[in-house]
Structure 1
């Protein structure tokens, strides 16, 4: 089924076309990525599809039976609405029942009055009537994955990252036919990104996605739409295939343009020698010359950022931590941490949101004090600190004035001297854009400008806190190349796994409560290590559980006088239904694996992994049900 059709769509930004006469469609089951440079019109196109941004020409049609969910980069909220009300604000009767049940359950944990318990009874009966227990389990699964715990909190109390996670949860819970996600991995920690990646991979939802996360793109999408020079190019396959085919296309285009230029030289010679009287043949050849000229001049400008820095001299002594301790009240950030940084150090920092990574970076630069220990900084250190909070420009300032305030004449690493305008051109700001106001820049263009201002200080110790958010893929590639050649130290906090794998030599893993583990390896190697440790832990838990069960069989059970609380009774009844749902799914998966209908190796692997997860969840719920059953019937 065709979900959406874009037909000759055109949109201008002032006099500049963002896209012009572009056409494409999305079919049911497709997972499509939209790729373009910063300011190339990606977000505008997404907003046009859902009707939030009018077109200047063409049309966009959405199938009348299709529901569309849009995740914007900066979602809008009613500040007074609670998280629960927002997440479950849907016309779906099942989601309404889940919301009423969750509200009643939360109220019953604080108030055992007859009125509250009656409300819970009514909500439970409605859940039973609509068979909504499966939906309720899915809601909890999604909210848990994104660490959304306080459902009664007003939206205005949440941070920007929390709001983005709540908005993403709402869209996944509603399960529209077509998901449109604009930079969904921003503000997610690595565990959340990997959970979302797995969820979208195995779901049947259709998807239109904008993201800079190349691993995410590669593993989820089966088609790439490239928006460049106001034109659409469609590539079947994942991101790796897209890169390969894009390189082939550009090579062919370059060869075609070179051929046209050679022919044009010959034609130009003929035109100059041509007699003034133009017969039919001469007129035909003159028209052909104009077409050839157009073709010869059609080659794209090589728009590639040039990032370089005249790095300050770095002495032998760089930076040393010795028995450093830092906490906020009872929350430890760093405990007894010692480390000596070396020349060309490449460190990645990983850990859950809120565990203290940004505080650690501020301690490193002296912006945040320490409680005890010593941090010794070398005399030659010049920090270049790229932070999320540091991205603040005067909205009414012109782009070129931002650079002029830093330098009027900048010496580069090769000894050349550049004006502010020349510097900005290296960062892909064309002369006409340099005199635009900051307020007109896209999110990615602001990040590129900010990166430019950081590097103008000639740092020899770079600290990059989420540098990849909103940067386009081309700029990311150039930044990676620059950092690989950078002779100073680099510390990176990022949720971009590809970026980290390419650059870092080892990781500082923030495990919580002040514990920092130095892992010698890249992020992918660390994930393999974590997965193996988790596998061993599950084996140990199972063995211990089996041992206890064997011991319990030998011991005469004591008569229990304990009774189930009302809350436990509700949990007991819900578990029966949840176990039944999991057992049904288990039987369905096992039948699918055994009937020979699935032959694709990757699909078999995914189905087998899901079967393992279902069996594990069923076992855990069964153990809890047995505990409650023993109390209920003991």
Structure 2
């Protein structure tokens, strides 16, 4: 079923087109990512599809039978609205029943009056009437995954990151036919991102999303739409397949442009020697020449951010922590932490939201005091601190004035001197954009400008707190290349697992209660380590349970599989193996790009969901029988 058709969509920002005459569609079951550079109108396009912005040209046709859910970068809510009211504010009778039931349960925990108990009875009856218990369980599962615990809290009392998590929960709970997500992984910790990945992969929801998280793109999406210079390129398959095909496309285009240039040289010589009298043949050849000229010029070099610093000299002593303590009241942030930083060190910091990662970074720079211990800072250290909040730019000043306030003539690492205009050119701010007001910049452009101001300090110790938020994929790639060559120290706090895996050598793991462990490896290795610990824990619990049952049960009470159960047990093993094989084959088809038909992609996605559910059910039954058989 066709959910959405975008036909010749055009949108201007002032006189400048964000995009012109772009067309694409989304079918049921597709999980599509929109990829484009910052400032090209990705968020604007998503808002137009959701009906929150108008187009300047073209049409967006939405199937009348479907419902769309949009996760905005900055969700809005009504004044005085509680988390519960916001999350369950829906036209769905089932979700209304769940909301009334949750409200009644909350009241009855403190008020035992007959009126409240009657309200609870009525709410319970409605839950029974609409068979809403599964919905209530799903609501709690989603809210728990995003660590939303206080449903009575007002939305106004929450932080920006909490707003985003609550808004994302609301969309998943409502289960619209088409979910539109704008940077869904921002403000989520790593556990939440991995849960969301798994949920969306198994869900039958259709998706259109914008994200910089390459692992997320690779594991969730089965189609990539790329917007380049006003042209849409569609790639069936995941992010890895898209990168491969994009490289092929650009290589083929380069060959075509080079051939056109060679032909144009010959045609140019003919044009210059052409007699004044122009017949039909000459006119035809002139028209062909102009077409050739256009094709030859289409191979303009793709501009990328140029990141370079004149790094300040870094001495032998860099930074040392000796038995450092830090608490806020009863909450421990750092408990007896010691560490000596070394040259070219690459440290990633991981841990749940609220365990004190940002506080630790402020302790590094001296903007946050410590309770006990010693932090010794080398005399040559020059910090470059890219904070999560970024700069609070004055909306009414021009982009170029931001840089002029820092430097009028900046010396780069290669010895060249650059003016503010030249510096901003390297960060892909055109002369027109440089003389625009801050208020006109997109979120990604603001982050790019902020990165420029940080690097202008010529740091030798970079602290990056969520540097990947809102940066486009091309800028991220350039930043990664720069950091790999950077000769100073780098500390990174990020939920972007790809970024962390590519750059860091080891991790500071914030486990809570002031405990910081040094893990020697990248994030993917740390995740595998945790998975193995969890497997061992489950195995130990299973063996402990078996041992306990053997002690308390007499030998005569031991149970054996019946003939029927034994047959079921053997059959389940084979069925699970068949399902796993089919699952691998289908996932392979989606990732290698061998399937291009939208209907077939949808059918494969739906089949994957069925297989996963069926496999889980059979595995649970097999484990029950296995426990009896081997008990």
| TM-score above 0.5 | yes
How far apart in 2 are the matches of 1:591 and 1:152? 49
Q: Is contact 1:384-1:455 (8 Å) kept?
A: yes
1:102 aligns with 102
2:321 aligns with 321
2:37 aligns with 37
Q: Residues 94 and 602 from structure 1, CA distance in 2 versus in 1: closer, same or farther, beyond 3 angstroms?
A: farther
1:272 aligns with 272
How far apart in 1 are the matches of 2:577 and 2:135? 28
2:161 aligns with 161
Deviations 1:210-261 (A, max 9, x none): 0000000000111000011011110111101111111111111121112111
How far apart in 2 are the matches of 1:61 and 1:445? 30
Secondary structure at the residue paired with 1:396? coil
Q: Is contact 1:35-1:226 (8 Å) kept?
A: yes
Can you give the 5+ residue segments of structure 2 that lack an aligned partner in the other structure?
555-571, 588-607, 624-631
1:521 aligns with 521
Q: Residues 434 and 127 from structure 1, CA distance in 2 versus in 1: closer, same or farther, beyond 3 angstroms?
A: same
Structure 1 residue 597 displacement after superposition: 11
Q: TM-score, normalised by structure 2?
A: 0.90
1:52 aligns with 52
How far apart in 1 are the matches of 2:464 and 2:615? 39
RMSD: 2.3
Q: Is contact 2:390-2:447 (8 Å) kept?
A: no
Using CA pairs below 8 Å that are at least 6 residues apart, which structure has the higher relative contact order? 2
Q: Is contact 1:321-1:338 (8 Å) kept?
A: yes
2:383 aligns with 383
Q: Is contact 2:583-2:611 (8 Å) kept?
A: no
2:495 aligns with 495
Secondary structure at the residue paired with 1:209? strand
Q: Is contact 1:321-1:340 (8 Å) kept?
A: yes
2:584 aligns with 601
Q: Is contact 1:189-1:495 (8 Å) kept?
A: yes
2:558 aligns with none
Q: Residues 607 and 594 from structure 1, CA distance in 2 versus in 1: closer, same or farther, beyond 3 angstroms?
A: farther
How far apart in 2 are the matches of 1:125 and 1:160? 37
Q: Is contact 1:331-1:513 (8 Å) kept?
A: yes
Are 1:171 and 2:154 matched, yes or no?
A: no
Q: Which stretch of the first structure deviates more once superposed, 59-68 or 116-125?
A: 116-125
Alignment of 1:425-574 (within 5 A): 425-550=425-550, 553=553
Q: Which stretch of the first structure deviates more once superposed, 289-298 or 410-419?
A: 289-298
Secondary structure at the residue paired with 2:388? coil
Secondary structure at the residue paired with 1:599? helix
How far apart in 2 are the matches of 1:249 and 1:35? 16
Structure 1 residue 596 displacement after superposition: 6.9
Q: Which stretch of the first structure deviates more once superposed, 167-176 or 414-423?
A: 414-423
Q: TM-score, normalised by structure 1?
A: 0.89
Deviations 1:463-498 (A, max 9, x none): 000000000000000000000000000000000000
Q: Residues 615 and 127 from structure 1, CA distance in 2 versus in 1: closer, same or farther, beyond 3 angstroms?
A: farther
How far apart in 2 are the matches of 1:613 and 1:370? 49
How far apart in 2 are the matches of 1:160 and 1:615? 42
Structure 1 residue 540 displacement after superposition: 2.1
How far apart in 2 are the matches of 1:590 and 1:117? 49
Structure 1 residue 537 displacement after superposition: 1.2
Structure 1 residue 301 displacement after superposition: 3.4
How far apart in 2 are the matches of 1:106 and 1:603? 45
Structure 1 residue 617 displacement after superposition: 9.2
How far apart in 1 are the matches of 2:163 and 2:38? 24
Can you give the 5+ residue segments of structure 1 that lack an aligned partner in the other structure?
555-588, 621-634
How far apart in 1 are the matches of 2:508 and 2:336? 14
2:137 aligns with 137
Q: Residues 551 and 109 from structure 1, CA distance in 2 versus in 1: closer, same or farther, beyond 3 angstroms?
A: farther
Q: Is contact 1:592-1:598 (8 Å) kept?
A: no
